[in-house]
Amino acid sequence: MPDLVLLVNGAQKRVKAAEDEPLLWVLRNKLGLTGTKYGCGEGQCGACTVLLDGRATRSCLTPAGAAVGAKVTTVEGLEQQGKMSHVQSAFLEAGAFQCGYCTSGMVMAATALLAEHPHPSDEQIVEAMNGNVCRCGTYPRILAAIRLAAAPTVSESPAVEEGATYVHG
Amino acid sequence: MFTDEITAEAALHEVRDRIRMFELDRREFLRLCSGGLLVVAGSGAAGALAQESGRSSGGHQLPQEASAWIHISADTDVTVFTGKVEIGQNIRTSLAQSVAEELRAPFSLITMVMGDTDLVPWDAGTFGSQSTPRMGPQLRTMARTAREMLVEAAAERWKTDATTLIADEGRVTNPATSESLRYGEITRGQKLTRTITGDPPLTPATKWKIAGTPAPKVNGQQFVTGKHTYPSDVVRPGMLFGKVVRPAGYNATLASADTSMAEKIPGVRVVRDGDFIGVVADDVWAAEQAVLKVDAKWKVPAQISNAELFAALKKGAGDSGQSEIAAALAGADVKLEQTYTVAYIAHAPLEPRAAVAEWADGKLTVWTGTQRPFGVKEDLAKAFRLPAAQVRVIMPDMGSGYGGKHTGECAVEAARLAKAAGKPVKLIWTREEEFTWAYFRPAGVIEIRSGVQHDGTLVAWEHHNYNSGPSGAGTPYKVANPVTQYHEWADAPLAQGSYRGLAATANHFARETHMDELAHRVAMDPLEFRLKNLEDLRLRAVFTAAAESFGWEKEKSTATRGFGIAGGTEKGGYTAACAEVEIDTDKKVRVRRLVQAWESGAVVNPDGLRNQIMGAMVQALGGALFESIQFAGGKVTNAHFAEYRVPRLQDTPQIEVVLIDRKDLPSAGAGETGIVAVAPAVGNAIFAATGVRLRDLPMEQGIEIASGK
């Protein structure tokens, strides 16, 4: 088995892995980066999304060998000096998760989207995020989180409005 | 000092696999808990539940049959031990709110230890929307008792009357002298233990300060940073990766297997035991290659396909025979008899079944995603003929379940492989395995016969459910002598099991569609027709609230835009939904807007509840519109997300949740019933626009559902 040298979250990593082993398994099992999730292994759910040179990429379908020479960013690489990225903060503020299993992939896909379109239209958000499944169905909050992350300042951010509460009795 | 260590370690619940406390059994734990304050739910109202739970608890080693307990350390860290588990429903947060409320302690001091069979009292499992209505009051009772004990202990120390003291913010204060002690200081490391008797009064919801407020998920940051350890993320020293060779179809028997090619792969070991063939390797990629190289021949018996399903189901589940409401029907101005069907659907939790199994000194420990840690423990004990004390199941907060993770197959498989390998083994089912070898929400046929007068008065009602289940089958509408029957089918072709809402989704779809059909027959507004036949005030309230927020009165359906309404009650939750659909120029349907009202008594966490109801509505759209398991020859033929369509962002309509907070009523569970009203509301909206009545779920069998916004 060859040694592959990967550039992951800014650090060079030497791993023993077959060229065709999915990047997902290398990240999770050989580099201990379990924030990237297995959801389907077929590129259909987005749970394994990482950034390859800034582009949202399905790590389950990416052979490790193909990632050599690229900058790989996983969810663990988003925090700077222990401070969450604005996308992570927005997901947390919007409460845009239930079980949270899709969240890493959602955060990575949204990070790539906002890097390309800092102020995306709803259509652009849907196009970029439609490949990411949230089986708990938190899409309205995910949409709200991305709008929040795209807003220049918190005060200008749109309110997360899901409904009213009536108190009886 | 032990106590503080326990609490500190418990606070690291998510990463407990790295810490020493692991090997303690509960007896040892109780000994270590001897410093500080310990309250056990053991009798009275809470105890009655505990005893019910305890009957099948397999002789655990608690002081009494206990259902939960609370410990307060010398540092005033509060640790709550419960067998309930967190699967995305946010119960870790809302139970902690309830404890903080009754204990009069800051929310941040509460740590919930959940679903570890060596650390928590026996529990049947997390299902049936029972955690809030049953575990909630038990924990509140214990917290209230703990608070009383602390006040009494402080009164004794200060030689004063306990009724003059105030407990708040984790301190007991004497207003007369301004003396004040943190809870942990009061116990001074002394052992204070009480098993609850009686039924102490709890703080009414109108006075709640911590419960009833929108607390964010306690460990939310762990999820957005990828740091949370899910069952599939657990790593053990020397761990290998396993894969299992799956049969070519259901009920297959192994004819022959050649494993020599798999064994040639370096580092791979094949495990065979009867028809079970698995592989282990120190590299998951090698294990995946190896399992493909096993040449197994299977005999698969002939089995029905989904095309033959409903005919076989009706035949197998028997006939409802002569109508039992013939006399009532005879007097009705309008009679209606209709048949509705629902397909098999999959839970498809995004984290598939996963387990890490480790054998050490004859004891088996399995980390796995399950809604029933103690059920899986029993499965393991049975499979390996072990005494219960030698099996431990640990359930890290998992990647959801929706009723789909009650069973222990994956845990047993991982333990089998680990036993043979002599090393810990991780097994994660593939998506295809999850779609194929898990169990399904039962398919079903529902027949409804009814009669109504021209003025809209319901006079006859008969509801037969074949195979899908009895949950939510009884009508909430006022009608004399309704008949409701559930007909079992012993020969169901697929493994059937629990699902969010169980059969309430199917039964509500049939009933609320049928009610809509009746309203149209007597030319009444569907909401008006329902309210005319509805006495249940709570159900009336959610119908009215949903209609008001939606603007039901002003919305009139056209050929391109339809409006529908539906509602119901189950498991203590009341819900009604209004749907707006758009029919585009290609006759394709898009759901544009959903407004759902929800009432389940006093709201414990409005933010979490809103999230749950919203999620249930989105998930409901999948089963309503396009989810359906296809099968033939003992195989699922659409076992991939590419072929089994689940709701995505493009399918998500504008959603509004209207919460009715009944602070005068006990809190009911809310994980399930939020799913029941969407399908009929959407179907009724489609009928209002197109005149096409859809009686089969998913609806794409009868009308084209749009993809994309």
pLDDT, one tens digit per residue, over B496-512 is 999 999 999 999 999 99
Contact A139 B648 (CB under 8 A): yes
**Residue B400 is nearest to which of A76, A99, A123, comparing CB atoms?**
A99
Q: Which residue of B has its CA nearest to A85?
A: B225
Sequence letter at residue B92? R
**Structure tokens that stand for B691 in this block:** 């005149």
Separation of alpha carbons B408 and B411, rounded Å: 5
A132 and A105 Cβ atoms separated by less than 8 Å? yes
Which residues, 6 or more positions from B685, have their beta carbon under 8 angstroms from its beta carbon?
A: B557, B562, B563, B564, B579, B580, B581, B591
Where does the pLDDT of residue B292 fall: very low under 50, low under 70, confident under 90, or very high at 90 and above? very high
- Can you give the pLDDT at residue B31? 54
Distance CA B355, CA B419 (A): 14
What tokens appear for B535 in the block?
Answer: 């006495």
**C-beta atoms of B664 and A100 within 8 A:** no
Integer angstrom CA distances of residue B671 from A4, A101, B273, B609: 46, 18, 40, 8
Chain A CB within 8 Å of residue B397 CB = yes
Using pLDDT thresholds of 50, 70 and 90, give the confidence band for residue B122.
Answer: confident
Burial B54-79 (b: 16+ CB within 10 A, else e): beebeebebeebbbbbbbbbbbbbbb
* Beta strands in A17-155, from DSSP E residues, in sequence order: 49-52, 55-58, 71-73
Nearest to B620 by CA among B512, B523, B480: B512
Contacts of B660 in chain A (CB under 8 A): 165-166, 168
- Given a contact cutoff of 8 angstroms between Cβ atoms, the answer to whether B3 and B72 are in contact is no
pLDDT category at B14 given cuts 50, 70, 90 is: very low
Contacts of A77 in chain B (CB under 8 A): none
φ/ψ of residue A68, rounded to 5: -65, 130
Say yes or no: B199 contacts chain A, CB-CB below 8 A: no
Token output for B426: 């991780």
Identify the pLDDT of residue B20: 27
pLDDT tens digits, B322-363: 778 999 999 999 999 999 999 999 999 999 999 999 999 999
Q: What's the burial of A137, exposed, middle or buried (CB within 10 Å: 0-12/13-18/19+)?
A: buried
H-helix or E-strand spanning residue A144: helix A139-150
pLDDT of res. B10: 33
| pLDDT computed for residue B55 by the predictor | 29
Burial (CB count <10 Å: 0-12, 13-18, 19+), residue B638: middle
B22 has pLDDT over 50: no
How far apart (Å, rounded) are the C-alpha atoms in residues A9 and A11?
A: 6
* pLDDT confidence of residue B42: 53
What is the distance in angstroms between the Cα of A55 and the nearest Cα belonging to chain B? 19
Inspect the interface and report whether the beta carbons of B428 and A84 lie closer than 8 Å: no
Per residue in A39-58, pLDDT tens?
Answer: 999 999 999 999 999 999 99
Please compute the mean of the pLDDT values over residues A16-35 and round it to a whole number. Answer: 97
Rounded to 5 degrees, what are φ and ψ at B346? -105, 150
The residue with greater pLDDT, B577 or B47, is B577
Segment B236-281, tens digit of pLDDT? 999 999 999 999 999 999 999 999 999 999 999 999 998 999 999 9
Minimal C-alpha gap between B256 and chain A (Å):
29
What residue ranges in B483-528 does DSSP mark as E strands? Answer: 483-487
Scanning every residue of chain B, which has its alpha carbon at the shortest distance from the alpha carbon of A99? B88
Q: What is the model's pLDDT at position B200?
A: 80
Q: Which of B225, B230, B659 sits opposite A75 (nearest CB)?
A: B225
Provide the CA B274 distance to its chain's centre, in angstroms: 34
User: Which residues of B fall within a CB distance of 8 Å from A113?
Assistant: none
Give the pLDDT of residue B48: 35
Q: Do A37 and B606 touch (CB under 8 A)?
A: no
Of the residues B232, B350, B427, B436, the best mutation for testing chain A's interface (the one with the most A CB atoms within 10 Å of its CB) is B350
CA B689, distance to chain mean position in Å, is: 35
Angstrom distance (rounded) from CA B695 to CA B684: 10
In the predicted structure, residue B190 carries a pLDDT above the cut 90: no
Instruction: Report the gap between the CA of A71 and the closest CA in chain B (Å).
Output: 19
More confident residue, A155 or B303: B303
Q: Does B588 touch chain A (CB under 8 A)?
A: no
Tokens 């799956």, residue located: B246
Q: What is the pLDDT of residue B121?
A: 86
DSSP letter at B107 equals G
Residues in B touching A17 (Cβ below 8 Å)? 285
**Dihedral-angle region of residue B39 (phi above 0 means left; psi in -120 to 50 means alpha; beta otherwise):** beta
Nearest-by-CA chain A residue for B234:
A34
Residue with tokens 């916004």: B709
- How much is the pLDDT for B193? 77
Contacts of A39 in chain B (CB under 8 A): 350-352, 431
| Sign of the dihedral defined by the CA atoms of residues B171, B176, B177, B178, in that order | positive
From the list A89, A101, A125, which residue is nearest B400 (CB)?
Answer: A101
- The tens digit of pLDDT for each residue in B363-381 reads 999 999 999 999 999 999 9
* Strand ranges, E, within B222-362: 240-244, 253-258, 268-273, 276-281, 295-299, 334-342, 354-360
- CA dist B602 and B424 (Å) reads 45
pLDDT at B4 over 50: no
Report residue A150's pLDDT band, with 50, 70 and 90 as the boundaries: very high
Inter-chain contact A88–B224, Cβ cutoff 8 Å?
Answer: yes
Q: Mean pLDDT over residues B699-705, rounded?
A: 97
Residue B61, pLDDT > 90, answer no
The phi, psi pair for B50, rounded to 5°, reads -60, -40
pLDDT for the residue numbered B38? 76
For residues A141-155, average pLDDT:
85
Residue B120 · residue B114 · CB < 8 Å: yes
Instruction: Determine the pLDDT at residue B50.
Output: 34
Q: What is the mean pLDDT of chain A?
A: 92
- Higher pLDDT among residues A154 and B257, named by residue: B257
CB atoms within 10 A of CB B152: 16
Residues in A touching B236 (Cβ below 8 Å):
none
Q: How far apart are CA B628 and CA B439, in angstroms?
A: 13
Q: Give which of A135, A162, A168 to mutate to test B binding, by max B Cβ within 10 Å.
A: A135
Q: Is residue B66 very low, low, confident or very high in pLDDT (cuts 50, 70, 90)?
A: low
DSSP per-residue string spanning B139-206: HHHHHHHHHHHHHHHHHHHHTS-GGG-EEETTEEEETTTTEEEEHHHHHTT-EEEEE--S------GG
- Tens of pLDDT, residue by residue over B534-547, are 999 999 999 999 99
Closest by Cβ to A91, choosing from B89, B224, B607: B224
| Residue in B closest to A37 by C-alpha | B351
Is the pLDDT score of B199 beyond 90? no
Q: pLDDT value at position B197?
A: 64
Among residues A80, A82, A155, the alpha carbon closest in space to that of A111 is found at A80
Phi, psi torsion values for A103, nearest 5 degrees:
-65, -45
What gap in Å lies between CA B402 and CA B619, rounded to an integer? 10
Rg (CA), chain A: 17
* Residue A157 confidence class, pLDDT cut points 50, 70, 90: very low
Task: With CB atoms and an 8 Å threshold, state whether B88 touches A133.
Answer: no
Q: What backbone phi and psi angles, to 5 degrees, belong to B142?
A: -65, -40
Which residues of chain B lie closer than 8 angstroms to A138, CB-CB? 611, 614-615, 618
Q: DSSP assignment, residue B212?
A: T
Tell me how long chain B is.
Answer: 709
* Cβ separation B658–A35 shorter than 8 A: no
Instruction: Give me the percent of chain B exceeding a pLDDT of 70.
Output: 90
Question: Chain B: nearest CA to A132, how far in angstroms?
Answer: 7
**In this structure, what token pair is assigned to residue B517?**
């059909």
| Contacts with B230 from chain A: Cβ below 8 Å | 34, 37, 101
Spatial separation of the C-alpha atoms in residues B65 and A8, rounded to whole Å: 51
Residue B54: pLDDT over 60: no
CA distance A47 to A58: 8
> What was the pLDDT predicted at B198?
66
In this complex, the residue of A29, A103, A130 whose CB is nearest that of residue B650 is A130
Chain A interface includes B74 (CB < 8 A): no
Query: What pLDDT does residue B293 have?
Result: 97
Tokens found for residue B685? 């909206």
Least confident of A18-27, B188-197, B442-451, B519-528: B188-197
Check if the interface score ipTM surpasses 0.90. yes
Whether the per-residue pLDDT at A124 is higher than 80: the answer is: yes
Instruction: Say whether A37 and B232 touch across the interface (CB within 8 A).
Output: yes
Nearest-CA distance from B650 to chain A in Å? 6
Q: Do B619 and A136 touch (CB under 8 A)?
A: yes
Residues of chain B with pLDDT > 90: what percent? 82
Strand pairing partners for B568? B575
Answer whether residue B436 shows pLDDT above 90: yes
Mean pLDDT, chain B, whole residue set: 90
What are the CA-CA distances from residue B42 to residues B54, B67, B71, B123, B135 (Å)?
A: 10, 7, 15, 14, 13
Lowest-pLDDT range, A147-151, B37-41, B478-482, B525-529? B37-41
B682 near B512, Cβ under 8 Å? Answer: no
Amino acid at B57: S
DSSP-derived 3-state class of residue B519: helix
B217–A95: do the CB atoms touch at under 8 Å?
A: yes
pLDDT at residue A166 is higher than 80? no
Its pTM stands at 0.93
Q: How far apart are CA B507 and CA B115, in angstroms?
A: 32
Task: Inform me whether the pLDDT recorded for A155 exceeds 50.
Answer: no
Stretch among B12-21, B596-605, B654-663 having the lowest mean pLDDT = B12-21
DSSP codes, B9-69: HHHTGGGGGGSGGGG--HHHHHHHTTSEEEEE--SHHHHHHHHHHHTTS-S---SS--SEE
Q: What is the dihedral of CA B108, B114, B119, B123, to 10 degrees?
A: 140
| Contact assessment for residue B631 and residue B333, using Cβ atoms and an 8 Å cutoff | no
pLDDT at residue B598 is higher than 90 = yes
Q: Is the pLDDT assigned to residue A72 strictly greater than 80?
A: yes
In the structure, what pLDDT confidence band is assigned to residue B702 with cuts at 50, 70 and 90? very high
pLDDT exceeds 60 at position A107: yes
